[in-house]
Structures are given as structure tokens and as C-alpha cells.
Structure 1
């Protein structure tokens, strides 16, 4: 995000806080508030529809997990807002940009929510791999169950259509070929799937 984009998003957040009835001091926004935030920040409708589809999948998986404790509200709102950074850019940078936007919104659980948003990229990107994509040098590999649920559920949707993991990566493969990095990403997605299903069955 360049300086002009950063100033623009800060102005939009300031306007949002001044002209909405949302209580930004609480833990998380409601579903309706999250949608209002995204619309006011200029997120396209098709992206919001994708996020709604991912939210439904992540929520359903979360409700069925019995072997570990899950913060279902964090999963729902994290899935719903995971692509918020696309109101600025549609590149890989939308992950860290989205995390920065969430932190600026200032909800009490913004740190946890920001990590969910940042760590949905592909099937997780290490700090070393982030450098190749010109992303801020952070760890983008999902670590908590909430981060993993959102990342995995995102891999099961293309737009708002349900797809397989292989189908979801097909666009990347068509563009770059089935290189070692993408093989590793598909493998990471399948490990996520095994881990999540293992918490259910």
C-alpha cells in the first residue's frame, strides 16, 4: 500500500467512525456491522458475497469441532472480513493490508482478527516466502484453530461457488505451472483439511 492509498483508507475509516453507530470499543463487530464497514470502505459486492460463502463454511465447520475449543464469533467475523484488504488492492498484499485495516478499526479483538485476516493467503505463507511476494516480512501461516478454519474454508470457494482444493489452485497453476511452491501450497491445504476434519471426527 503506497502513502496515498494509506491516507485514503485512513480517511475512509475516520469518516466511517464519525458517521456510523457502530461501537468500535467492543470485542468484534456483528455480521451486519462487518458488512456495513466493508461496504463503506468500498469493498465490491462480489467480494462480500465470497466472504459470506466462506463465513458459512467456516461457521459450520467450527460448530462441529468438538476436540478443541473454538472462538466461533472470531471464526465468523474473521471469515466474513478476510478479504477486506481488497478495498485497496487485489494482489497478495490484500492480506497484510486487511490486517492493517482491522487494527485501525480498533475493536478489542482487533489483534486476533487481524491475524485471521492476514493468514488466509493461499494455504499459509512463511516469512521467507513473503519476501518473494514483496509482502511485509511476517509469518502468514495460520496457527490457531480460528486462523486455520478461515484459511481452509477460503480454499473451498471460488467466488461464492464451492470448489475442491485442487480446483481452487487451478488458476495459479494455469498462470505459473505446477511448480514446487504450488505443490507445497496444495500439500499445506490438505494438511489443514486433515487437521480440521480430525478435530471433528
Structure 2
């Protein structure tokens, strides 16, 4: 219920951006829950996974990404930080952390500085098992043209490699945990 209220507040019904957000989030959730069910030893909190998957991209609404019908003023790379601010405003710290820690395979303060990204110079690396599962599952689905088509592992790895050795290394560590 809380998830729907938050989505309703920022994404009017029948708008394309809402459909993109919800479809993408449901695909990520399906994969995340599958990982959790296949790895009960991880003891992932299923409720946190469900809510985190549905809200991990809540901040895209304030970014300028016309290809996904978002017309805000911020660069897309800031959507995790924006989502974190939105959810902290609702008192949802654990969900805010999921937003902030899912970009790429997470971002270190060093990567942010070296790449001159418009982000706070702090570590934004997935820490909890739920953050790691959502970060990982998110990489397999785009918010572009084919929302429900899962990317191949090879395609995801190639995408991670474009952003540096550390991105790929962290992603491969997640592969070892979840595949």
C-alpha cells in the first residue's frame, strides 16, 4: 500500500513514465525474488525486496530523460540520489539506501571523483543483501524500448566493462553470489 501511495504522489496514473517505472520495477522484482528463493541461505527480507524493487527508480521523474518520458531538470545519473531524498522524506531509510546504491554495480567515492560525476563524493555501494540483489537484478532490464526483454549476461558484462574495471569486478562478484 505504501509503495503505491508513493508512486501515485510522483507519477500520475495513465502517464507513460509511470508505466515504464512500474513495468521495469516488476521485471526487476521478478528476478530479485527468484534469486532470493534460489538462495535461502542469504536470508533476504522478501518484503524489503518487493518494496525496494518497486521504488529503486522512483527518482527518475526528476531527471531529464525524454526517451523514458521524464522531463525533470537533473541528469539521469542522479536518479538514485534523488530517489534516496524522496524516500528519506517519507522516513524510509532502508529503501532510500537501495535507491542510492543501485547505479551500475554501485559507485565508490573514488569512481565518482575520477569520472567527475554530478554526485556526492561518497561511497554508494550496495551493502545489505537486499541492496545487492536489487542492484544485480536491475542490470538485466532496460527502461528503453523493450521493457520486458531480459538482457543476456554477456551483454550486461559488456555494459559494466564500459564503465571501468571496478564496475565489472563488483558485478562479477555478484554473479558468483547469485548465479
TM-score, structure 1 normalization = 0.70
Between the aligned partners of 2:25 and 2:10, the Cα distance in structure 1 is 11
Superposition CA RMSD, Å: 2.4
Q: Is the 8 A contact 1:63 1:72 kept in 2?
A: no
Q: CA deviation at 1:166?
A: 3.6
Equivalent residue, structure 1, for 2:105: 123
**Structure 1 position 39 matched with structure 2 position 21:** no
Secondary structure of 1:46's partner?
helix
Q: Is the 8 A contact 1:54 1:157 kept in 2?
A: yes
Between the aligned partners of 2:118 and 2:107, the Cα distance in structure 1 is 12
**Structure 1 position 85 matched with structure 2 position 59:** yes
**From 55, 61, 64, the counterpart of 2:35:** 61
Q: How many residues of Structure 1 are paired with residues of Structure 2 in the alignment?
A: 160
Secondary structure of 2:41's partner?
coil
Please list every run of 5 or more consecutive structure 2 residues that lacks an aligned counterpart in the other structure. Answer: 66-75
**Structure 1 position 136 matched with structure 2 position 124:** no
Q: 1:59 to 1:35 in 2, by over 3 A?
A: farther
TM-score, structure 2 normalization = 0.78
Equivalent residue, structure 2, for 1:155: 139
Q: 1:83 to 1:67 in 2, by over 3 A?
A: same
Equivalent residue, structure 1, for 2:87: 102
